[in-house]
Amino acid sequence: MAPIPTPAAEPDDSPDAYVGLPADRAEQLARERGWSTVRALPPGAIITMEYLVGRLNFEVRDGSVVRSWKG
């Protein structure tokens, strides 16, 4: 049986640091800090609850990040 791979570590970064930033600047900063996937979502977007290591999610309203979370 093959060993279970160890997932890559997530960046040592707080999602709260992105709240209040313009969405484009927040995405650029997140990528610079090592997030492999960054997605911007409108308020109330329907998404799966699948957790993806290395993904940072932004809820964007009027061009600014109002909420940010991992996965």
Say what the pLDDT of residue 1 is.
76
Say what the pLDDT of residue 40 is.
96
> How many other C-beta atoms can be found within 10 angstroms of the C-beta atom of residue 12?
7
| Alpha-carbon gap, residue 34 to 16, rounded angstroms | 16
Say what the pLDDT of residue 12 is.
92
Nearest to 32 by CA among 43, 47, 21, 42: 21
Say what the pLDDT of residue 9 is.
81
Contacts of 1 (CB under 8 A, 6+ apart): none
Q: Mean pLDDT in each 10-residue stretch from start to end of the chain (71 residues)?
A: 79 96 98 96 92 95 97 91
| Alpha-carbon gap, residue 60 to 53, rounded angstroms | 21
Name the DSSP letter for residue 64. E
pTM of the model: 0.85
